[in-house]
Structure 1
Amino acid sequence: MRTPKRLALMPILLLLGVTGCSSPVTTGEAAQTPASTPVVKVNEKAAALVPAAVKSKGTLVFAMDASYAPFEFFDTDNTTITGFDANFSDAVAAAMGLKSQKVNTNFAAILPGLQAGKYDIGNSNFTITPEREKTVDFVPFMKSGSGLGVKKGNPENLSMDFASLCGHHVAAQTGTVQALTDLPELTAKCVSAGKPAIDVQLFATQNDANLALSSGRVDALMADSVGVAYQGEQSNGAFELVSGPLYKPSELGIALPKGSPLIPAVTEAVNGLIKDGTYAAIAKTWKLPVETLMTPGA
């Protein structure tokens, strides 16, 4: 079952936004780099839950794919990983009385890397799905859905209605929920309706998918709506997010190895950051829609 696979946060209200942001496009854009992560006080409850072995090491290793702005991407020095997930990872570690080490790796390799013990935590805009919950545990902290990126002005009149996508070339990043679930579902609907299948084209990074769209090799791309909107704004008019309802809104979460002893401490740290406003402040810095954020319950 899904519920016991995720440790519950404090009571929260989850609302779905209708706009979002996304990853950097390979068009030489200069993403707006904000100030560093806000100063975070140690959450004594979270720190007390940190396993002794981790406490003695003093550092948490976070894996992320730095090709997905505004969540994680390389700063102008092409070395420093920045973005919402990067800042939030720093804050989570600080709340636990630890330092953070951010490691860039291919998105599809993060969850297997967690299982293999290469990283402590995966924080790379992960949609929580039953399939993923079979191999890792999640601490949820946001809600979003899939969005469709199209050429400026939407000349093909595409939308999340499957019928409009049948027979078109649509890109996605390998290993994402869009590649694994959303596009296969939409393609099956096309075939069932007697229409041409969607030509799904997968790319190793979101940057590659963005470039395929901006260069005309595909008609559209699917990714997290927040990413698509942000990346579209940074693309110098190459593409934009289609307006309208998102596809399959779902929770996003921090991933940990199944049964990790870090889960209680991470959960307490995330709760505290939501409660004290640090989480909302980081989200505001990166212009994330407030409707996608978790807020403390009454």
Structure 2
Amino acid sequence: MKKFLAVLLAAVMICISFVACSSETKTDETGNDTQQATLTMATNAEFPPYEYKEGDKVVGIDAEIAQAIADELGMKLEIVDTKFDAIIPGVQSGKYDMGMAGMTVTPEREQSVSFSNSYATGIQSIIVKEGSDIKSVDDLSSETKIGVQLGTTGDIYASDDFGAEAVAQYDKGADAVQALIAGKVDCVIIDNEPAKAFVAANTGLTILETSYAEEDYAICFAKDNTELQTKVNDALKKLIDNGTVKTIVDKYISAE
């Protein structure tokens, strides 16, 4: 019996140790220790200025807005950098609490996940080489080789408009841009802010004046996670109303 109790006590101590390691202790205003829940956000740090890396840290508009949301909810933010097309499946499975990656609300995505209210408006732009025969959206056709990042709205829209054969998919937007420079594709369709960053970093490229599409960015959640969706929406509304979201966006995107 004593041996059984000793084993049971050891097991209990292991469980207590595990729980203590899997959560963060935070001291509140009264000096008492409280357990702080973690908010896990999946992103793809290849879309400056919305998300990109400085060293090993993910920074940008989405990272700062997510941190502000976590602060409002009294949670610790954990950002996981993954492939863009892995975000929605990861959120669906419960691997991540939410996905935030300059993600547009589309009917296709709404079949898989739920979305928050919009927090920013994005534009899909077209990058070409200087002197290209492609001067506007009207010059695109099924004969045009279009570079896109896999799983993005640029990928979805271009595939729908011009057929899958016209679209070359890449894991990263930067890889699509390098394919353009190498002459493997005729243009790249990508979000406007990353497009500006890529053009600034690579000589001989330009962005067409006419945009390809306009869209709203939002945060995605598993369809059954309505509690978190509501809490994030409430926090997001407060951050929009008090000017926090605008301040963050203005920090990264100057008025033109």
Report the secondary structure of 1:110's partner residue.
helix
1:81-124 CA distance string (max 9 Å, x none): 11111111111111211121100000000000001100001000
Return closer, same or farther for 1:289/1:165 CA change in 2, 3 Å cut-off.
Answer: farther
Aligned to 2:70: 93
Conserved in 1, the CA contact under 8 Å of 2:125 and 2:213?
no
| CA distance in structure 1 between the partners assigned to 2:94 and 2:188 by the alignment | 33
1:52-94 CA distance string (max 9 Å, x none): xxx955210000011111111111x2x1111111111111111
1:167 equivalent to 2:167? Answer: no
Question: Identity of aligned pairs, percent?
Answer: 29
User: Which amino acid in structure 1 is aligned with residue 119 of structure 2?
Assistant: F
Aligned to 2:52: 73
Aligned to 1:146: 124
Structure possessing the higher radius of gyration over alpha carbons: 2
Structure 1 segment 109-258 matched on structure 2, within 5 A:
109-139=86-116, 140-151=118-129, 153-161=130-138, 163-180=139-156, 182-187=157-162, 199-233=166-200, 235-244=201-210, 246-258=211-223
1:226 positional shift: 2.4
Structure 2 counterpart of 1:284, from 247, 250, 254: 250
TM-score (norm. length: structure 2):
0.80
Q: Which runs of 5+ in 2 are unaligned?
A: 1-33
The 4+ residue runs of structure 1 with deviation greater than 4 A are none
| CA distance in structure 1 between the partners assigned to 2:255 and 2:141 by the alignment | 27
Structure 1 segment 28-67 matched on structure 2, within 5 A:
56-67=35-46
1:271 equivalent to 2:246? Answer: no
Conserved in 2, the CA contact under 8 Å of 1:144 and 1:252?
yes
| CA distance in structure 2 between the partners assigned to 1:57 and 1:112 by the alignment | 26
Aligned to 2:20: none
| CA distance in structure 1 between the partners assigned to 2:255 and 2:98 by the alignment | 25
Return closer, same or farther for 1:104/1:206 CA change in 2, 3 Å cut-off.
Answer: same
Return closer, same or farther for 1:134/1:164 CA change in 2, 3 Å cut-off.
Answer: closer
Aligned to 2:79: 102
| CA distance in structure 2 between the partners assigned to 1:144 and 1:103 by the alignment | 22
| CA distance in structure 2 between the partners assigned to 1:164 and 1:134 by the alignment | 29
1:273 positional shift: 0.8
Return closer, same or farther for 1:199/1:99 CA change in 2, 3 Å cut-off.
Answer: same
1:222-251 CA distance string (max 9 Å, x none): 011222123212x2424222112x233221
| CA distance in structure 1 between the partners assigned to 2:82 and 2:90 by the alignment | 9
In terms of fraction of residues, the more helix-rich structure is 2
| CA distance in structure 2 between the partners assigned to 1:86 and 1:203 by the alignment | 23
Report the secondary structure of 1:125's partner residue.
coil
| CA distance in structure 2 between the partners assigned to 1:56 and 1:114 by the alignment | 24
Conserved in 1, the CA contact under 8 Å of 2:92 and 2:223?
yes
Instruction: Report the count of equivalent residues.
Output: 221
Conserved in 1, the CA contact under 8 Å of 2:36 and 2:76?
no
User: Which amino acid in structure 1 is aligned with residue 152 of structure 2?
Assistant: T
Larger relative CO (CA 8 A, sep 6+): 1 or 2?
1
Q: Which runs of 5+ in 1 are unaligned?
A: 1-54, 189-196, 291-298
| CA distance in structure 2 between the partners assigned to 1:155 and 1:248 by the alignment | 20
